[in-house]
Amino acid sequence: MKTDVPVLFAEDVIARRVAELGREIGEALAGREVCVLGLMKGSLVFMADLVRRIPLDLTMHLVRVSSSRDKGQGRVLTEIVYTTNVPLDGRDLLLVDDIVDTGITLSYLLGHLYEHGASSVKVCALVDKPESRKIGVRPDWSAFTVEGAAAEGFLVGYGLDWMERFRGLPYIGSIPRPGAP
Ligand code: IMP
Ligand code: MG
């Protein structure tokens, strides 16, 4: 028995959208040696499905970023805490992200990847929440855009967690935002 989290995007809806994205990405990156870089852990399930729908010979890598709030100045400190041996120099990367929310994580990672010699970085996110953006970055592709009333909930499942729970749900569900009244 898993849980009874209300469904926002059902399994079949996700599967159709992932297949569509795979085709689009395959066309956009045709002829390149693509290195897929998954942002752990939230994008693991999405990445596993997506790579099987991209009709290109690609390599797979992982990166993990940790963000914490600096108590003194209130800044968000972002750092890379784990990465597989990613070949960056002159590479065409496809960064697979779970949720682009404030954009802080994505903007930090893009800066890092270009600084270390990536020749291009395309971004495919599972969910884009454009209304929460604090830094002006946007994914090249996103499976779903969540805005308005739907953005008030906290998304879980299909790799997304709340305190490490719910990652194994086969669909994307929405729970009341933790801490909301
Ligand atoms: P940001 O764009 O730097 O604010 O960070 C986005 C990260 O916040 C994502 O990678 C998620 O780990 C987390 N996140 C934001 N919104 C949600 C949500 O609704 N459910 C689960 N995780 C979320
Ligand atoms: Mg998370």
Each of the 181 residues of the chain gets a pLDDT tens digit; together they read 567 899 999 999 999 999 999 999 999 999 999 999 999 999 999 999 999 999 999 999 999 998 887 777 777 888 888 888 888 888 899 999 999 999 999 999 999 999 999 999 999 999 999 999 999 999 999 999 999 999 999 999 999 999 999 999 999 999 998 776 6
Q: Which ligand ends up closest to the CA of 39?
A: 1
How many angstroms separate the Cα of 176 from the Cα of each of 67, 149, 157?
A: 23, 12, 14
Residue nearest to atom 20 of ligand 1 (CA): 155
Q: From the candidates 12, 101, 140, 161, give the one annotated as an active-site residue.
A: 101
pLDDT of residue 120: 96
Atom of ligand 1 nearest to the CA of 76: 3
CB 99 near ligand 1, within 6 Å: yes
168 CA → ligand 1 middle, Å: 17
pLDDT of residue 2: 65
Active site residue 101: yes
140 CA → ligand 1 middle, Å: 17
Say whether 100 sits in a helix, a strand or coil: strand
Please answer whether residues 118 and 88 qualify as being in contact, where contact means their C-beta atoms are separated by less than 8 angstroms.
yes
101 CA → ligand 1 middle, Å: 6
* Residue 68: half-sphere exposure toward Cβ, Cα within 13 Å: 7
* Sheet with strand 92-100: strands edge to edge: 76-83, 58-69, 34-40, 92-100, 120-128, 141-145
Q: Which ligand ends up closest to the CA of 99?
A: 1
Query: In residues, how long is the chain?
Result: 181
CB 103 near ligand 1, within 6 Å: yes
CB 154 near ligand 1, within 6 Å: yes
pLDDT of residue 38: 97
